[in-house]
Chain A
Amino acid sequence: DAGVIQSPRHEVTEMGQEVTLRCKPISGHDYLFWYRQTMMRGLELLIYFNNNVPIDDSGMPEDRFSAKMPNASFSTLKIQPSEPRDSAVYFCASSSRGDGANVLTFGAGSRLTVL
């Protein structure tokens, strides 16, 4: 397995533009997480899914952020409209609770810069 795959790796956009980040979890994993990492706030959980269903989105900053998981192999995190304070590295991670695995595997991250 190629691991958790995120795209784009880098995104530079202007304030007000829509940003879509994509994630392909490891095949067979039934949990998917979106985290945001900044120097000031460290690693923050935004939302997580179980079997494609959002379980906890209390970490989503505001209505400008939305996340979907239309199927077991794809998820998106959308920011509309984007603001400079959204600049961060966004990590997707997946895990499986089967067979006592329960290990979170991270993608390489999407580095977002909003000008």
Chain B
Amino acid sequence: AQRVTQPEKLLSVFKGAPVELKCNYSYSGSPELFWYVQYSRQRLQLLLRHISRESIKGFTADLNKGETSFHLKKPFAQEEDSAMYYCALSGFSGQNFVFGPGTRLSVLP
């Protein structure tokens, strides 16, 4: 079965501190992993996807197939990073998108 877990509901860090949002998944096959971000009262938008191997807004995420994880990291958090972050999984062969429960990141001044 497809499943995405995000163990932290809320994560608070101070501005300038490193941040790591955890994501683990279960999937029988080779999934595609994503991070979506939702700023206050806005639509969800794609932050990054594992196959792109990009750094967006200073965030990176590495797919670890051994640990079935896709943690999101940023070395120096900014106040504007405060938002809800969702980890998501999709199968390459046409399955649906499955989202984790989300982690609310709060960056304190």
Contacts and interface: CB of A to CB of B under 8 A. Distances in A.
B43 A106 contact: yes
A75 to B, nearest CB: 15
Nearest to A59: B96
Given A35-B99, A97-B94, 20 more contacts: A33-B96, A43-B102, A45-B96, A45-B97, A45-B98, A45-B99, A55-B96, A91-B43, A93-B97, A95-B97, A100-B51, A103-B46, A103-B49, A104-B46, A104-B90, A104-B97, A105-B46, A106-B43, A106-B44, A108-B42
Interface residues of B, number: 22
A35 B49 CA distance: 20
A24 B96 CA distance: 19
Interface in A101-115: 102-109
A87 interface: no
A22 B46 CA distance: 22
Interface of A: 33, 35, 42-43, 45, 48, 50, 55-56, 91, 93, 95, 97, 100, 102-109
Contacts of A48: 96
Q: Is the interface of B mostly helix, strand, loop or mixed?
A: strand
A111 B101 CA distance: 19
A43 B99 contact: yes
B88 interface: yes
B86 A102 contact: no
A42 to B, nearest CB: 4
A104 B92 CA distance: 13
A102 B32 contact: yes
A27 B51 CA distance: 24
A97 B88 CA distance: 16
